[in-house]
């Protein structure tokens, strides 16, 4: 039984603003395509956005911690918040989980995720990842754990570490975070698989890159994807593929790896979807909190799907 959920990551500030195309043109600003942008570009848009609206603390492991805290009491977040620590702390208190920042200071800015909305409220750009803050938090800062603790490590953070973390927990969860960091994560994941029972969360693109094969249909994965996923899970590991509106598929080696479990999505009307960012992180947090309470993988995945569906109906992480 899990005694504590520990989330390690690198949070960002989520800022949203409704975009007035003509006003931006008058200001000489050009709307970027969705993607990752340097901090300087983010700040320049924050300076000219008409009526920007701050929507709270966000970020992968932080959002997952907040989602887990909704149903599980022993949850902690451990990572870098920078000079915006007070904002993250207020969200943590609101959601009843502990937050510890071992490296934050007055000069290190947190990352910022700028979600630009067009005149009809559709997302136009974002998010941004602050690699600088992540690099300050090294594997040597891994907090003390017990065997029954379950750490969740954000892939962006792990990819910045020069060495594997040493910790006592028997199991460990990892979110792949992005296809861009998977090459750096692969050797670490393979090494951790020799030491711990892993739970790996991936969206469809990340899972396809991890296993070097296309998924096909989430409900009925391609034979080669299925084969590679079963092989990946050998030895006690779990792979959770989050396929958004197509549901999720869960592989594990505890007796049913040959029959992967497909979890149907929780349907949300298009009119209610306002921001899909952070939905996968809410899925992971709810999934782990359900496992910590002793439920099986299928129940945990269903709980994750519900949390992700709730998240897309709100801006930011859907929890603040």
List of residues 6+ apart from 161 with CB closer than 8 A: 138, 139, 188
Per-residue pLDDT at 105 exceeds 80: no
Computed on alpha carbons and rounded to an integer, the radius of gyration of the chain in Å comes to 19
Per-residue model confidence as pLDDT tens digits over 189-232: 999 999 999 999 999 999 999 999 999 888 889 999 999 999 99
pLDDT band at 255 (very low <50, low <70, confident <90, very high): low
pLDDT tens per residue, range 128-150: 545 556 667 888 889 999 999 99
> Which residues in the chain belong to E strands, given as ranges?
4-9, 12-18, 52-58, 75-79, 98-100, 111-117, 123-125, 149-154, 171-175, 197-203, 238-242, 248-252, 261-263
Which token pair is 39? 């901090």
Number of domains the chain contains: 1
221 found inside a domain: yes
> Residue 248 has what pLDDT?
93
| Residue 138 forms part of a structural domain | no
Query: Mutual orientation of helices 60-69 and 279-292 as an angle, nearest 10°?
Result: 40
| 255: in domain | yes
Mean pLDDT estimate for the chain: 82
Residues of the domain holding 166: 4-11+59-98+145-311
Q: In this structure, is residue 216 part of a structural domain?
A: yes
Please report the pLDDT score of residue 115 as a whole number.
Answer: 66
With cut-offs at 50, 70 and 90, classify the pLDDT of residue 273.
Answer: confident
Q: How many residues would you count in the chain?
A: 320
User: Domain containing 90 — which CATH number?
Assistant: 3.40.1190.20
* Confidence grade of residue 60 (pLDDT, cut at 50, 70, 90): confident
Residue 222 lies in a domain: yes
41 is a domain residue: no
- Asked whether residue 115 is domain-assigned, the answer is no
Query: pTM of whole model > 0.85?
Result: yes
- Is 119 inside any structural domain? no
Query: 267 versus 319: which is more confidently predicted?
Result: 267
Asked if the peptide bond before residue 7 counts as cis, ω within 30 degrees of 0, the response is no
């Amino acid at each position: 039984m899990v005694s504590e959920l520990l989330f390690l990551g690198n949070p960002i500030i989520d800022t949203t603003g409704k975009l007035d195309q003509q006003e931006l043109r008058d200001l000489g600003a050009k709307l970027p395509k969705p993607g990752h942008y340097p901090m300087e570009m983010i700040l320049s848009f924050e300076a000219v956005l008409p009526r920007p609206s701050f929507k709270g603390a966000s970020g992968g492991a932080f959002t997952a911690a907040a989602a887990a805290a909704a149903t599980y009491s022993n949850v902690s977040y451990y990572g870098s918040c920078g000079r915006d620590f007070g904002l993250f702390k207020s969200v943590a208190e609101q959601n009843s989980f502990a937050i510890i920042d071992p490296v934050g200071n007055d000069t290190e800015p947190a990352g910022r995720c700028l979600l630009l909305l067009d005149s009809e409220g559709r997302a136009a750009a974002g998010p941004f990842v602050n690699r600088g803050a992540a690099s300050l938090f090294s594997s040597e800062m891994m907090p003390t754990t017990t065997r029954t603790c379950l750490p969740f490590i954000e892939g962006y953070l792990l990819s910045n570490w020069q060495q594997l973390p040493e910790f006592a927990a028997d199991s460990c969860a990892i979110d792949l975070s992005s296809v861009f960091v998977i090459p750096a994560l692969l050797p670490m994941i393979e090494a951790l698989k020799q030491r711990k029972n892993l739970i790996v969360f991936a969206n469809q693109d990340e899972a396809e890159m991890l296993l070097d094969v296309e998924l096909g249909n989430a409900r009925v994965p391609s034979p080669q994807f299925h084969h590679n996923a079963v092989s990946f899970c050998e030895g006690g590991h779990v792979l959770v593929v989050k396929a958004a509106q197509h549901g999720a598929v869960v592989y594990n080696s505890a007796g049913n790896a040959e029959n992967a479990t497909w979890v149907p999505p929780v349907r949300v009307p298009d009119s209610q979807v306002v921001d899909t960012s952070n939905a996968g992180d809410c899925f992971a947090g709810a999934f782990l909190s359900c496992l910590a309470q002793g439920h099986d993988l299928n129940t945990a995945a269903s709980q994750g799907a519900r949390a992700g569906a709730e998240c897309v109906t709100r801006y930011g992480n859907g929890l603040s």
